[in-house]
Amino acid sequence: MTQPGLLVLLAANFTLPQLAPWSLAPLAMGVVFALLLAVLGRVPLRYNVRNLQVRWTTTGLTAVAFVIVLGLLTMMLAFVNGMYKLTEQSGQPGNVLVLSEGSTDESFSNLGFSDVGDIELQPGVSRNEENRPLCSRETYVVVNQPVQVREPGRPNGRFTQVRGVDDPVISGDVHGLELLPGGRWVGQAGVQKLADEQEAIEAVVGEGIARELGRDRLPEARAKAKNPERIDVGETFPLGGRTWVVVGVIRSSGSTFDSEIWAKRDIVGKMFGKQGYSTLVLRTESPAAAQTLKDFLNKDYEKASVQAYVETEYFASLSETNKTFLYAIVVVTAIMSLGGIFGVMNTMFAAVSQRSRDIAVLRILGYSRLHVLASFLLESLVLAILGGTLGCLIGGLMIHGRQAASIVSSGQGGGGKFVVLEMLVSGDIVAVCLAIALVMGILGGLIPSILAMLIRPLESLR
């Protein structure tokens, strides 16, 4: 997944089903428009293609402008798509997430011990084979972790998300998380003695944070490690002034849990001064049951004031930053496309003035103004599609499946989760990029084509 540059892998990873009709509409319109031009304009397309070949430097440069603009757009959209995937895929529709009332973010939430014990006994909460409630009791903290290996231009600390859980197995079950082979969940004690008699906190880490921690390893530890990409079972890392040992790695689920470190709650709570619970996640029979339980806890439950969310809703609400980025991308794309449009326009103006004789001959042979317009507009579209496709492809190859750090948040009063996401080029993105390329081609080609249309054949042959 992390090897870019391989078309095969790209094809294998390509999420074609993810083609929403709305994203196809502009592309389809563009394609229909191009086809219409091809049918209306009788000038053979090979005339345009060969002219593009003849003026290959200008053609090439114009295509390069398209490649840059659309390659960049593809990358930016893949990044935001990764963020949206993360917020959409995190959480289970049948889970109810409980925070203390008024908290919009887990890190601000404080639930009392007694409340937690009562909430998990409420009707609607599923139970496992041992008849224990499927309730994940969690203390979520964001910890400042100094970076071991200082790289130039990088800060010397980062924020790491640690989730203390009472019963890791049940919690893993509730969240539907699996460990990679060779790992196990944190044991009852939550600590173990290392070979050098040092006591280490047992931790299960998400694949995303495992990569981050893997990068942080001291050179000698990295040299010895069996997995150069990420930290693996048996390796240690420092956090909060203690040594932690990885006992399991959570299989990537494309959720925010990929960026978390899990350990025993009583250790985490004590270490970081958060005695109570921050979060309670309850498994129910079905999404409908989750909705019922949520409503009950918010409206009718009186023993404690809590704020319940269906888990998927909670994560969906963390998309404020995504929106900010998307908005920024729209602005960036608009500005850069304008630059690109002016570039194409220049190319097409030159094409028209160089070929005014050709145009005159065509007109004399009986081709109408509309035919000429269509021919030049089509040429601009060919250029746009060529450059756009190449840009999309290059951008996609460079970025698809790569990991990037980011933040997702609800935009309210800070908070948010620091996440490692996978940048994903989807069918939607390709469709949008190609549609934008077409629009750029049309806008850039229109005025020069009109100019071509207005050429007076007799005068330009003189």
Partner 1 sequence: MGHDNTILRVTDVHKYFRRGSERVDVLSGLNLEVGEGEFFGLMGPSGSGKTTLLNLIAGLDVPSEGEVWVGSNCISRMSESQLATWRTRNIGFVFQFYHLLPVLSAFENVELPLLLLPLSAGQRRQQVETALDLVGLKDRMWHRPGQLSGGQQQRVGIARAIVTDPLLIVADEPTGDLDAKSAVEILDLLEELRSGLEKTIIMVTHDPRAARRCDRVRHLDKGQVVDGSALQGEHVEEHVG
Partner 2 sequence: MKLLGLMLKNIRRNWIASILASAATIMLVLMVTLVWSVLSFLDQVTAEKSKDLKAIITERWQIPSQMPYSYAATLTEGAARTDDDIRPIDSMTWSFYGGTTDIKNRTLDNTLFAFAMEPQKLRTMMDDLDSLPPDQAAELDAAIAKMDENRLGTIVGLDRLEALGKRVGDRIKLFGINYRGIDLELEIVGTFPRGRYDKSAVIHRDYLNAAVDAWPREHNGEEHPLAQKSLNLVWIKVPDSDAFQKVADQISSSPYYSSPAVKCETASSGIGSFLDAYRDLIWGMRYLLAPACLATVAVVMSIAIGIGVRKRQMELAVMKVLGFRPRQILIMVLGESLLLGTAAGLISSWATWYLVNNLLGGIPFPIAFFPSFMIDDGALWWGPAVGGGAALLGSVWPAWSACRVKVSEVFSKVT
Would you count residue 262 as binding partner 2 (CB under 8 A)?
no
Residue in 299, 262, 278, 283 with CA at minimum distance from that of residue 120? 283
Considering CB distances under 5 to 8 angstroms, the limit depending on partner class, which of partner 2, partner 1, none binds residue 188? none
Phi/psi at 421 (nearest 5 deg)? -120, 165
Residue 387 lies near partner 1 (rule: CB under 8 A): no
Q: Is residue 418 near partner 2 by the rule CB under 8 A? A: yes
Stretch that binds partner 2, among 60-68, 228-236, 285-293, 374-382 (CB under 8 A): 60-68
- Distance in Å, CB of 190 to partner 2, minimum: 18
**Which part of the chain contacts partner 2 (CB under 8 A), choosing from 38-46, 116-124, 126-134, 338-346?**
338-346
- Out of 98, 201, 203, 362, name the contact with partner 1 by CB under 8 A: 362
368 binds, among partner 1, partner 2, none (CB under 5 to 8 A by kind): partner 1
Q: Is 336 in the site for partner 2 (CB under 8 A)?
A: yes
Contact 356, 346 (CB under 8 A): no
- Should residue 72 be labelled a site residue for partner 2 when binding is judged by CB under 8 A? yes
* Window 379 to 398, contacts with partner 2 (CB under 8 A): none
Burial group, residue 240, by CB count within 10 angstroms (0-12, 13-18, 19+): middle
Pairing type for strands 157-165 and 260-264 reads: parallel
- Tell whether residue 214 is a contact of partner 2 (CB under 8 A): no
**Partner from partner 1, partner 2, none binding residue 44, C-beta < 5-8 Å depending on class:** partner 1
Smallest CA-to-CA distance from 460 within 332, 353, 387, 351 is with 353
Q: Is 108 in the site for partner 2 (CB under 8 A)?
A: yes
Tokens standing for residue 49: 């293609």
Cα 279 to Cα 108, 132, 134, 275, 413, distances in angstroms: 10, 18, 14, 12, 19
- Using the minimum distance from each CB to partner 2, give the nearer residue, 62 or 236: 62
Position among 8, 21, 46, 241 found at the interface with partner 1 (CB under 8 A):
46
Per partner kind, with CB cut-offs from 5 to 8 A, the member of partner 2, partner 1, none near residue 407 is: partner 2
46 binds, among partner 1, partner 2, none (CB under 5 to 8 A by kind): partner 1
Output the six-digit token pair for 173: 């079950």
Query: Residue 461: which of partner 1, partner 2, none does it interact with, CB under 5 to 8 A by kind?
Result: partner 1
- Does residue 57 touch partner 1 according to CB under 8 A? no
Q: Quick one: what does residue 50 bind among partner 1, partner 2, none, with the CB cut-off 5 to 8 Å set by partner type?
A: partner 1
Residue 360 engages partner 1 in binding (rule: CB under 8 A): yes
What is the identity of the amino acid at 152?
P
CA distance 238 to 201: 10
- Single residue of 194, 357, 413, 454 touching partner 2 by CB under 8 A: 413
> Is 353 a binder of partner 1 (CB under 8 A)?
no
Q: How far is CA 309 from the centre of its chain?
A: 23
Q: Enter the DSSP assignment of 226.
A: S
Q: Tell me which amino acid residue 59 is.
A: T
Considering only residues 13, 51, 107, 122, which one is a binding residue for partner 1 as defined by CB under 8 A? 51
DSSP string, 252-321: P-SSGGGGEEEEEHHHHHHHTT--SB-EEEEE-SSHHHHHHHHHIIIII--SS-EEEEEHHHHHHTTBHH
Torsion of CA 454, 459, 461, 462, to 10 degrees: -170
Burial-class residue 39 by CB neighbours within 10 Å (0-12, 13-18, 19+): exposed
- Between CA 244 and CA 107 the distance in angstroms is 22
Q: Which two tokens stand for residue 283?
A: 């498994």
Does 364 interact with partner 1 (rule: CB under 8 A)? yes
* Residues contacting partner 2: total by CB under 8 A: 62
CB of 241 to partner 2, least distance (A): 8
d(CA 284, CA 299): 18
Q: Does 400 bind partner 1 (CB under 8 A)?
A: no
Shortest CB 403 distance to partner 2, Å: 8
CB of 393 to partner 1, least distance (A): 27
- 47 scored as a contact of partner 2 (CB under 8 A): no
From residue 88, alpha-carbon distances to 260, 261, 315, 414 in Å are 17, 21, 7, 20
Q: How far is the CB of 377 from partner 1 (least distance, A)?
A: 18
Would you tell me which residues interact with partner 2 (CB under 8 A)? Answer: 57-58, 61-62, 64-65, 68-69, 71-72, 75-76, 79, 101-102, 107-108, 110, 141-144, 154-159, 240-241, 271-274, 324-325, 328, 332, 335-336, 338-343, 345-347, 349-350, 353, 404-407, 411-415, 418
Would you tell me which residues interact with partner 1 (CB under 8 A)? Answer: 42-44, 46-47, 50-51, 53-54, 357-358, 360-369, 457-458, 461
